[in-house]
Every structure is written in C-alpha cells, then in structure tokens.
Amino acid sequence: MDVVVAGGGVAGLWLLNLLNAQGYNVMLLEADRIGAQQTLASQGMIHGGLKYALAGKLTRASEAISSMPERWARCLQGNGPVDLTGLEPLSPRYYMFAADSTLGQLTSFFASRALRGRIRKLDPEAYPPPFREPGFRGVVYDLHDFVVDTPALLRRLLAPVRQRVYRWQLTPEHIVADAEGVTLTLGAQVVKARQLILAAGAGTQALLNGLNVTDPVMQLRPLNQVLVRHTYPHPLYAHCLTGIRRPEPRLTITSHPDGDGWLWYLGGQLATDGAAMRSADLIDHARAELVACLPWLDWHNAEFSTLRVDRAEPAQRRGNRPDEAYAAARGPYIVTWPTKLSLAPDLGDKVLAMLAPPACPAPVDLQLPLAEIGQPPWSR
Ligand SMILES: Cc1cc2nc3c(=O)[nH]c(=O)nc-3n(C[C@H](O)[C@H](O)[C@H](O)COP(=O)(O)OP(=O)(O)OC[C@H]3O[C@@H](n4cnc5c(N)ncnc54)[C@H](O)[C@@H]3O)c2cc1C
C-alpha cells in the first residue's frame, strides 16, 4: 500500500478520498463507527472564520480559514480535489444577528472594506423565518458560510472508497516501522505501507505514546453542547451577538432534522462556559440564554439535554485554539488534526505536500468487516 489511514472521522475520510483520487493505493482503519466521536457531534458549519474577528479586527485565525467555504463550494460543484457532487448543504446560508442595536463598534467593522464580500447586512425581506416574526427588532447579517449535514457528508465521502474502509482498532502493538515504511499486523493479515497517517482524533495521543513519538502532543478542549427539542417549526442557522462582552458568539445555533421537526443544537459561549457546569445548571443557563437572545419565541415547553465532547487538537501555548489544520511527518507517520471540519481542504494540502508520488499500484483486500457510519448525538 502507499498509505494506511488510522481514524474514520472527517479528516481520515477526506484524506482517503483525496489520495485515492490522486492515484494512491490507500485504506482506512476505523476503531468504531465512522464519525462517531467529533465529526457527527459537530455543528457542520463550513465557515470563513468571521466569528474569530469579533474583537473588531481580523486575526490570524480568521484569515487562515477565510477561503474554506469557497474551497468546499468547489468540491460540491465537482471542481475540487475531493468530489462532493450530490451533497446538498443542510443550509446554504449562515447568519449573525443581534436583538436591538447592541453591536457598537462591530457595526462599522462589519461594514468596512476589509470585510467586503464576507458579510452583508440583510434587508428585512431577506430574513430567514425566525427573524420575520413580529417580535424581532434587531440586525441580521449573512455570512456566506454554509452548513452540511454531517451524516450526509460522511456518506458522500465514504461512497468512492467504500471497500477500503475497515473496522479495526489500530494499536501500537500492530505497528512495526522500518526503512521502507510500516508493517501492520491486523489479525491474521499483514499489510505493508509506505506511510501511516494518524487521523484518529482524540485517539491519536495513545498511538503516539505507544510509538514513542513525543512531539507533537495533543490537547483536548472541552465543550458542553446543548440540544433543544421544541415545537417552533423552522430551523435556524445563526450566531447570536446580542450584548456580547467577549469575542465569541453568545450562542451558535444550528438545526438538524429530528423526526418531523428540527432539533436546535447550541454551541458558542454557552458550550464553552458549559464545560465547567453540571448538566442541570447548564440547562437552566441555556433556557435563560434562549429567552434573552430570542425572546419573541416561546421556550416554555422546550426540552433540553446536554452533550459533553472534547475537541482534539495539537497542543498550543496556554491551550489556545489552533489557527490552521495540523500535519507533521515523523518517520513513516504523518500526524494530523484538522482542528476544524472547515479546514479539511487545508489539511489535504498539507498532507499531499508531504507524500512522495504513488508507487504501489496493487490494492490489498483485507478479510475484515467494513466500518459503518455512526449516528449524530440527537439520533442515538
Ligand atoms: C461540538 C463540536 C462542534 C463543532 N462544530 C464545528 C463546526 O461547526 N465547524 C467546524 O469546522 N468544526 C467544528 N468542530 C470541529 C470538528 O468537528 C473537528 O475538528 C473534526 O470533526 C475532527 O475530525 P477528526 O476526523 O480529526 O476526528 P473524529 O471525528 O473524532 O474522528 C476520529 C476517528 O478516529 C477513530 N479512532 C480513534 N482511535 C483509533 C484507533 N486507534 N484506530 C482506528 N481508529 C481510531 C475514532 O473512532 C473516530 O471515528 C466541532 C467540534 C465539536 C466537538
């Protein structure tokens, strides 16, 4: 084999598609269900980083990611290095809103030349349904971002490589490195590969430990997301900036098909702060935040639950958020963390730049079960 990938989240499947399309002979090993750790728990936003510029200036983080929606859009149209044709976004738009005129200096920043083409203030006729309700007074911006349904994304990524994605938990004991690459002992079968890509999310640190790779080191940044079931019939895809006192959206709202209705999935400050809260306290806080941010909707009968999930990333100073996707070559290993779903194209560039051209034409068929796609947390 040219490349074996360990880990079947968006990073592993994106890389598998990219390398397969470039003529590499590839396979992927997934320990459990495809996407069932971070990818299916994510909000699915393919974003250009404006939420990292809410201090009123562009930042390294906001710029490193700014071209990603455009790059994903090319993949959706069939003009990118990974073919995502047929994948319909869950929402072709993502909005930012504030009730009343609470945006202060951000109002002129959003109207500035530096942000031209990245954000647009909407006229009320163009508002999505939740802001057309009679009680809404405020401003709404269109961010030119979009939202993917993560199960549909994983199905699309799996389709071209279906027979190459096996269920197998790779452990360091299965791996022997030599001058030619790696030898993997997978039960009764032995596979030789020139390169092993570690794309196992939070599982990557255990592999690094067992392989005696001491650099890079992983960090986990915890979130406590909130799931809201309610009877309001419309979805919402928007950051709430009402009265924010620090540069992070107060609520980051996405909506996901749930029976006949929509489940609203809440992140942003709520989920960051929620990491230090007990579930019952976070639910009280989430209810109060919805009432404060969307007071014109009725939250009396809404049902809440919470979901703890860690983001797995390369360690940064003071545990900060990384700005870019991460890939580093260590002997026959390439250690990766996309750090954002949106940054998958960036990860692909970095990994491709580290690989020699394809050299192993013969595919290897393993006698292992194929891995299945997991379910998002609200369907489990
Ligand atoms: C709540 C939340 C919301 C988010 N929202 C967004 C968003 O809206 N937009 C955005 O751009 N980003 C978002 N992110 C970030 C994004 O989800 C992650 O960066 C991305 O999904 C990480 O993908 P991954 O493939 O590296 O990891 P994962 O999806 O965690 O996949 C890793 C896989 O590796 C497998 N594995 C682990 N160990 C082994 C092993 N030893 N052998 C074989 N397989 C193994 C696991 O079973 C798992 O399936 C969000 C993250 C969270 C947590």
pLDDT at 230: 95
Cα 292 to Cα 48: distance, rounded to the nearest angstrom: 27
pLDDT at 262: 96
Cα 259 to Cα 3: distance, rounded to the nearest angstrom: 40
Point out the ligand 1 atom lying closest to the alpha carbon of residue 307: 1
Mean pLDDT confidence for 327-356: 98
Q: Whose CA is nearest to atom 2 of ligand 1?
A: 42
Confidence bin at 253 (pLDDT 50/70/90): very high
Percent of the chain with pLDDT over 90: 94
- Residue 100's Cα: distance from chain center in Å? 31
pLDDT reading at 251 higher than 80: yes
**Other residues' Cβ atoms within 10 Å of the Cβ of residue 77:** 11
**Residue 263 token pair:** 């489940």
pLDDT at 104: 86
Long-range contacts, 179-188 (Cβ 8 Å, 24+): 181/332, 182/4, 182/332, 182/333, 184/4, 186/29, 186/366, 186/368, 187/367, 187/368, 188/367
- Residue 321's Cα: distance from chain center in Å? 14
Confidence bin at 371 (pLDDT 50/70/90): very high
Kindly give the distance from the C-alpha atom of residue 39 to the centroid of ligand 1, in angstroms, as a whole number.
Answer: 4
Kindly give the distance from the C-alpha atom of residue 11 to the centroid of ligand 1, in angstroms, as a whole number.
Answer: 7
Confidence bin at 362 (pLDDT 50/70/90): confident
pLDDT reading at 360 higher than 90: no
Q: Is 43 in the pocket of ligand 1 (CB under 6 A)?
A: yes
Kindly give the distance from the C-alpha atom of residue 10 to the centroid of ligand 1, in angstroms, as a whole number.
Answer: 7
Indicate the average pLDDT of the chain.
96
pLDDT at 85: 98
Q: Residue type for 268, please?
A: G
Taking only the tens place, the pLDDT of each residue in 178-191 is 999 999 999 999 99
What does the buried/exposed string (b/e) look like for 234-253 if buried means 16 or more CB atoms within 10 Å of the residue's CB? ebbbbbbbbebeebbbbbbb
Q: Is 38 in the pocket of ligand 1 (CB under 6 A)?
A: yes
pLDDT at 268: 98
Check if the beta carbon of residue 149 is closer than 8 Å to that of residue 378.
Answer: no
Q: Is 224 in the pocket of ligand 1 (CB under 6 A)?
A: no
Cα 103 to Cα 200: distance, rounded to the nearest angstrom: 40
Q: Whose CA is nearest to atom 4 of ligand 1?
A: 42
Q: Is 325 in the pocket of ligand 1 (CB under 6 A)?
A: no
CA-to-CA dists, residue 41 to 24, 273, 353, angstroms = 30, 18, 29
Q: Is 203 in the pocket of ligand 1 (CB under 6 A)?
A: yes
Q: Residue type for 349, please?
A: D
Mean pLDDT confidence for 94-104: 87
Q: What is the SS3 assignment for 133-165?
A: CCCCCEEEEECCCEECCHHHHHHHHHHHHHHHE
**Residue 208 token pair:** 């690094």
Kindly give the distance from the C-alpha atom of residue 92 to the centroid of ligand 1, in angstroms, as a whole number.
Answer: 22
Kindly give the distance from the C-alpha atom of residue 298 to the centroid of ligand 1, in angstroms, as a whole number.
Answer: 34
- Residue 44's Cα: distance from chain center in Å? 6
Kindly give the distance from the C-alpha atom of residue 121 to the centroid of ligand 1, in angstroms, as a whole number.
Answer: 33
Q: Whose CA is nearest to atom 3 of ligand 1?
A: 42
Mean pLDDT confidence for 32-53: 96
pLDDT at 214: 97
Taking only the tens place, the pLDDT of each residue in 261-298 is 999 999 999 999 999 999 999 999 999 999 999 999 99
Q: Is 199 in the pocket of ligand 1 (CB under 6 A)?
A: yes
Kindly give the distance from the C-alpha atom of residue 38 to the centroid of ligand 1, in angstroms, as a whole number.
Answer: 3
pLDDT reading at 361 higher than 80: no
Point out the ligand 1 atom lying closest to the alpha carbon of residue 32: 47
